[in-house]
Amino acid sequence: MSAFTDGMNAALAAPLIRDHVKQRSQAGRTLSYVEGWVAIAEANRIFGFDGWTRETVEIRVVAERERKIGPQGKQRDGWGVSYVAKVRVVCRGVVREGVGSGHGIDVDLGLAHESAIKEAETDAMKRALMTFGNPFGLALYDKDQTNVADAAPEPSSDELYMTHARAKIAGFKDRAALASWWGEEKENRERMLTVDQRAALMKETTARRDELAGDNREAS
């Protein structure tokens, strides 16, 4: 049985939105990447705000040296620092890890370290999330980028409600709380969703309820 709902699997299989792709030059090459805040926003959207965690399990400095900073003729003494980090991401029990690097340059040694640490942790997190699917940058590992597409039209109100409801359902840890929310949302479902959409949401709710019942049996 998949750890993810049908809605989550669909979102993970969807193309990477072209507007989410940035580019930078490095060693004479143009590299495409997804920014860290985009990866976090996509994880919150797909898994729910309380549906995933990240943990830095290892981080270490690999270089620290004095260097000149600034344009020619206006250079100042400063520091260059590099770190490598390993980050563990857990989404509904599925564990992935990524290793990344970060570099900091500043006249203040402490600020150089801070910048390098943040960059290394973010890079490692993105590499861990990338293994879940295209929205996190997996599509960029294909040179042709066939799974990078223009953004779809703005979702309708019923689609927005379905996305929100699916994330909410997946985030429940208690059957009673799930049942209470389901009852409270009856009027909204009937007002905003079609019969087929309500049936699909009922199916996902039932599956989550059964999953929680199984967890309770195992715990006892």
Domain ranges of the chain: 6-149, 157-219
What do you get for the CA distance between the two ends of the chain, in Å?
22
The Cα–Cα gap between 19 and 133 comes to 17
Q: At what angle do helices 175-184 and 195-219 cross, to 10 degrees?
A: 160
- pLDDT at position 214, please? 77
Residue keyed to tokens 């709380």 = 177
Residues whose CB is less than 8 angstroms from the CB of residue 67 and which lie 6 or more positions away in sequence, other chains included:
78, 79, 80, 105
Low-confidence ranges of the chain (pLDDT < 70): 1, 215-220
What does the block give as tokens for 127? 């590499």
> Do the strands 21-26 and 29-34 form a parallel or antiparallel pair, or are they unpaired?
antiparallel
Flag whether the pTM goes above 0.85.
Answer: no
The Cα–Cα gap between 45 and 10 comes to 12
Q: Are residues 104 and 92 in contact, defined by beta-carbon separation less than 8 angstroms?
A: no
Considering only CA atoms, which of 40, 10, 183, 188 is closest in space to residue 122?
Answer: 40
The Cα–Cα gap between 182 and 127 comes to 36
- pLDDT at position 138, please? 94
CATH for 6-149 (3.40.50.300, 3.30.390.80, 3.40.190.10, 3.40.50.360): 3.30.390.80
Q: At what angle do helices 157-171 and 195-219 cross, to 10 degrees?
A: 10
Angle at 99 between CA 112 and CA 61, to 5 degrees: 35
185 DSSP assignment: T
- pLDDT at position 71, please? 87
List pLDDT tens digits, range 79-99. 999 999 999 999 999 999 999
Q: Are residues 201 and 164 in contact, defined by beta-carbon separation less than 8 angstroms?
A: no
Q: Are residues 131 and 170 in contact, defined by beta-carbon separation less than 8 angstroms?
A: no
What does the block give as tokens for 38? 């985009």
